Amino acid sequence: MTVTDKDRGWQAILREATSVGEMSVSVGVHADARDHDGTTTAAIGAFHEYGIGVPQRAWLGPGIDDATPEILRLAERIYFDAILAGSVSARQAGGLIGERMQAAAQQRLRDKDPSWAPLAPYTKARKAKKIRGSKREGKGARQRQAEFVAGDGNPLIDTGQLLQSVRYKVHFGLEAGALH
């Protein structure tokens, strides 16, 4: 009598479950984000996060901190319900977690924390000059400029480049270890 051991996917599941331990997910404005008038978008994000040359308007750390309980529940569900079931890879799991972390950081940018210092009047005036309308909107554009200067706009959103540059990356092995 011959006994044959058929692997019906257990080795693949075991490989993915093990590789999760070698994985990390980073979120923020990574070094490969494009420049903004000679300053990298990552630098602009850091200036605001840590208050370098501008009032501190932390958005990344608090955004992730606020979402941490939800992110941890998601990670646990993905691990036990998806990876161990063989329905997703470790990289896909990292992507799902990264998407949630990215959304949390972007939401914090969009929502404007009430503790953030308002824009200085000269900064508001400079930003208002960027608000342009077509020739048909001449009066409408001037009205939008006046409303912007009088209002209390989000100090971290100007062109939207910082918001759009917030991304996640999934790292494995030595690359993941370098992040810790």
Summarize pLDDT for 69-94 with one digit per residue, the tens.
999 999 999 988 888 888 999 899 99
The average confidence (pLDDT) of the chain is: 83
Domain map (residue ranges) of the chain = 10-117+160-177, 118-154
Which residue, 102, 126, 116, 122, is CA-closest to 154? 116
The residues that bridge with 35 in the sheet, in sequence order, are 40
Spatial separation of the C-alpha atoms in residues 125 and 122, rounded to whole Å = 5
Pick 33 or 120 by higher pLDDT. Answer: 120
Residue 134's pLDDT band (cuts 50, 70, 90): very low
Mean of pLDDT values over 124-150: 64
More confident position, 26 or 155: 26
Return d(Cα 91, Cα 83) in angstroms, integer: 10
What is the value of pTM for the model shown?
Answer: 0.78
